[in-house]
Amino acid sequence: MKRSLVAVGSPGALASYLRDDSRIESGADVVVVPTAAAFSGAAQASVDVATALEGLDLHLEALMVVDRASAGETYFAQRISDALLVVLCDGASLHARSVWRDSPVGEALARARRLCAVGASASVLGEVMIDPRGGAPTTGLGFSAGVAFSAPAGEEQLARTRSLLDEHTALVVLGPRGVVVCEDGAWRVVVADDVVVTRGNEPATL
């Protein structure tokens, strides 16, 4: 099966996407990684994802990777490598980046067969990451190139972000209903609701 990255705006958008995905078989092995929600409540974030996915007949396991120590656990890294689908919970993207970078869990995420990032976690995946504190580009984990993700923000902040990105990087502002997928290195918008794509100050496509 080819490797894919999926960025969704909310657990509900993830559930809608998976319901239409014929590659997700009954009883599929799915792990939920709530690292980004460590400060706001990792357990609750995992429950929120599980609740959204009710009715899909998936085997779900939440991995409590919340800090650098847990990101070094061999079991967590192996479960991510073995799972058919890995879901990254929404939350603090900078915390997620610091926990996953240069760790066994981060290396496993880079190799995951199917990686679905919810909300702000999507911004960590690219070579370019948007710092949520002010909208400036910084360095992501480098799982994909050519696209940077941002949560919806004020026009002034988004204008600043667009002015700081190079012309080869598309900015994808991902709202609650949006779904964007990368397969074989190419990104495409699957659900355009709440998705705005620009290069520089101009509307663009992926």
Residue 2 has pLDDT above 80, yes or no: no
Residue 11 has pLDDT above 60, yes or no: yes
Residue 177 has pLDDT above 80, yes or no: yes
Residue 54 has pLDDT above 70, yes or no: yes
Residue 167 has pLDDT above 90, yes or no: no
Residue 114 has pLDDT above 70, yes or no: yes
Of 20 and 157, more confident: 157
d(CA 202, CA 190): 20
Taking the model in full, what pTM does it have?
Answer: 0.95
Q: In the chain, where are the structural domains located?
A: 4-203
Q: Please tell me the CATH code under which domain 4-203 is placed.
A: 3.40.50.880
Q: At what angle do helices 42-52 and 11-19 cross, to 10 degrees?
A: 30
User: Which residues, 6+ apart, have CB-to-CB distance to 147 below 8 Å?
Assistant: 126, 169, 170, 172, 180, 182, 187, 206
Q: What average pLDDT does the segment 43-72 reach?
A: 96
What length does the chain have? 206
What single letter denotes the amino acid at residue 125?
L
Residue 160 has pLDDT above 90, yes or no: yes
pLDDT at position 41 is 96
